[in-house]
Amino acid sequence: MTLAAYISQCSRRTFGWGIWDCCLFAADAVKCTTGKDMAAHLRATYANQNEARRLVSSIGGYAAIVLDGGLIPVTGPFQDGDIGVLKSRGDISALVVFWQGRFLGVFGEGKYGLMPIASRHVEEVFRP
């Protein structure tokens, strides 16, 4: 599947921990562009927010996930498919995907679609 087709499909998806959340959204975007699944070792290992937080923490955070997945840090200009790490609010952070001039993310149990995120909220960016 192309990244464009994947992003389009995401507008009809529902957030669910371990099914389609920020990490799996980003991992699937990377898979569309590279064919590699940077979250293969994470899939089916958590089912709620607490389990997801523990898992991400045990790995070393979202930046560690993308670096372990072979992505490289970039400072811009950003390209479609780049993966960003949102600035943390306490212990809450997320992965987002750059698409057509903005970052997009998935947030909130049971919510549909993608939410645009301002670049100023993105702490680090990585390229597949």
pLDDT tens-place string over residues 45-93: 999 999 999 999 999 999 999 999 999 999 989 999 999 999 877 666 8
Q: Mean pLDDT, the chain, as a whole number?
A: 93
CA 84 to chain centre: 7
Position 126 scores a pLDDT of 98
The phi and psi torsions of 101 (rounded to 5 degrees) equal 90, 5
Domains of the chain (ranges; CATH) run 3-127 (3.90.1720)
pLDDT digits (tens, 9 = 90+) for 7-28: 999 988 999 999 999 999 999 9
The phi and psi torsions of 5 (rounded to 5 degrees) equal -65, -40
Distance CA 89, CA 87 (A): 7
What pTM was estimated for this model as a whole?
Answer: 0.94
